[in-house]
Amino acid sequence: MEDDVDRLIAAWEHERPDVDVSPMHVLSRVTRLALHLDRARKEAFADHDLEPSEFDVLSALRRSGDPYQLSPGQLVHETLVTSGTMTNRVDRLVRKGLVERLPDPDDRRGVQVRLTPTGRAAVDGALDALLAHEKQLLAGLGEREAGDLAASLRTLSRPFDR
């Protein structure tokens, strides 16, 4: 039942017996798992011609509800990237015809990014594929265990939520 992180920690304990590396049991696993999850998402989206980073933008628009439009600033806040990155992502999605840029009627500095019908179909399809895959990954955990896991992760995330 030993995994890569257990080996990594054992090596540290041998080389640096003076420090307590036990936080790695949790935090190293979070980091490594996230890396693997991102790659898995990439595969799950491949059939839909979407990158995970593109899905992040589309999904923020989709779950905001009708009329499926947000400002670039709101998208930046939702997706945890910088404004320069968001400009680039929106450009790409516009080229693909999945979103469109509209002038903000109330603020001439502003812009609204809106999901096109094609974009909405893409994100809905990709979501189904993603969840099907994620359900597989979680199959090894009982309902109780998954709930406890989520609760602990929420506790850990709290210092970062704003």
Partner DNA sequence: CCCCACAATCTCGATGTCAAGAATCTTGAC
Partner DNA sequence: GTCAAGATTCTTGACATCGAGATTGTGGGG
The residues of the shown chain that bind a copy of itself, judged by CB under 8 A, are: 1, 3-6, 8, 11-12, 14-16, 19-27, 29-38, 40, 62-65, 80, 124, 127-128, 131, 134-135, 137-138, 140-141, 145-150, 152-161
Task: Kindly tell me which of 94 and 147 has the beta carbon lying closer to DNA.
Answer: 94
Nearer to DNA (CB atom), residue 25 or residue 36: 36
Would you call 140 exposed, middle or buried from its count of C-beta atoms within 10 A (0-12, 13-18, 19+)? Answer: exposed
Please choose which of a copy of itself, DNA, none residue 114 contacts, taking the beta carbon within 5 to 8 angstroms, the exact cut-off set by kind. none
The shares of helix, strand and coil residues in the chain, as percent rounded to the nearest 5, are 65, 5, 25
CB of residue 101 vs a copy of itself: minimum separation in angstroms?
A: 22
CB of 117 to a copy of itself, least distance (A): 15
Nearest-approach distance from CB 105 to a copy of itself, in angstroms: 24
71 backbone dihedrals φ, ψ, rounded to 5°: -80, 160
Instruction: Mark residues 63-102: x for contact with DNA by CB under 7 A, - for none.
Output: --------xxxx-x----xxxxxxxxxx-x--------x-
- Give every CB contact of residue 137 below 8 A, 6+ residues apart in sequence: 37, 40
Identify whether 72 is preceded by a cis peptide bond (ω within 30 of 0): no
Cβ-based nearer residue to a copy of itself, 25 or 46 = 25
21 neighbors 9 (Cβ within 8 angstroms): yes
Q: Which is nearer to DNA, 73 or 147 (CB)?
A: 73
Q: How far is CA 85 from the centre of its chain?
A: 15
